[in-house]
Amino acid sequence: MEINIEYIANLARLDNPSTTEEANKLRKDMTEIIGMVDKMSEVDTTGVEPTNHAAPMQNVFRKDELKPSFARDEMLANAPESVAGCYSVPSAVEDA
């Protein structure tokens, strides 16, 4: 099966491998792993409910009760870049 590495890498926000060698290795690894997991298709699972949680639980809620927020400085202490109490990123403006 041909895996569209470029498409997947973009979805995952990873750079495409910069060298052909790396690209080939990644493609080979991915193909091998996918080949391994494709084995699942041998088992008929028609009508089987998927298990989304390891523990069968339901209705876990919290009350709508206010808790103190964290100090802004504490939150921003790990930010690679902060300006005026905000996290700062390159422009995300949509061109109008």
Partner 1 sequence: MELYTKTAHELHKMLVDKDVTSVEITESFIDRINEVEPKVDAFIATTFETALETASKADEKIQKGEEISALEGLPMALKDNMSTKGVATTSASKMLENYVPPYDATVVKILKENNIPILGKTNMDEFAMGSSTETSYFKKTKNPYDLQRIPGGSSGGSAASVSANEAVFALGSDTGGSIRQPASCCGVVGLKPTYGTVSRFGLFAFASSLDQIGPFAKDVTDAANIFNLISGHDSFDSTSINMEYPDYTSSLKADVKGLKIGVPQEFLGDGINVEVKNAILKACDNYKALGAEVETFSLPLTDYFIPIYYVICCAEASSNLARYDGVKYGYRADKFSDLTDLYKKTRSQGFGAEVKRRIMLGTYVLSSGYYDAYYKKAQQMRTIIRNNFADAFKKYDLILTPTAPTTAFKMGEKIDDPVQMYLADICTVVVNIAGLPGMSMPCGVDSEGLPIGMQLIGNSFAEPTIFRAGFAFEQAGFSKIPLPTFKNGGAN
Partner 2 sequence: MNYETVIGLEVHAELKTKTKIYCGCSTEFGGEVNTHTCPICVGFPGVLPVLNKQVVEYAIKAGLATNCNITPVGKQDRKNYFYPDLPKAYQTSQYDLPICVGGYVEIETEDGPKKIRLTRIHIEEDAGKLLHDFGEGTLVDYNRGGVPLIEIVSEPDLRSSQEAHTFLEQLKAILEYTDVSDCKMQEGSLRCDVNVSVRPEGATEFGIRTEMKNVNSFRAAVRAIEYESKRQIAVLENGDEVTQETRRWDEASGKSVPMRSKEDAQDYRYFPEPDLVNIVIDDEWVARVRETLPELPQARIKRYIADLGLTDYDAGLIASNKKLAVLFEETVALGAKPKAVSNWILGDVSRILNERDIELDESKLTPQALASLIELIEKGTISNNAGKKVLPDIFDGCDDVTKLVEEKGLVQISDDSALMEIVTQVLADNEKSVNDYKGGNERAIGFLVGQCMKASKGKGNPQKFNELLKQNLG
Residue 67 CB neighbours (<10 A)? 6
Stretch that binds partner 2, among 16-24, 26-34, 39-47, 62-70 (CB under 8 A): 62-70
CA–CA separation, 24 vs 8, rounded Å? 15
HSE, side-chain direction, 13 A CA sphere, residue 56: 3
- Determine the interface stretch with partner 2 among 20-28, 37-45, 80-88 (rule: CB under 8 A): 80-88
Which one among 1, 2, 13, 77 touches partner 2, defined by CB under 8 A? Answer: 13
- Residue located via tokens 């209705």: 59
Check binding of 77 to partner 2 (CB under 8 A). no
Nearest Cα to 4, choosing from 36, 37, 26, 35? 26
16 binds partner 2 (CB under 8 A): no
Where on the chain is the footprint of partner 2 (CB under 8 A)? 10-11, 13, 50, 52-53, 57-70, 72, 75-76, 83-96
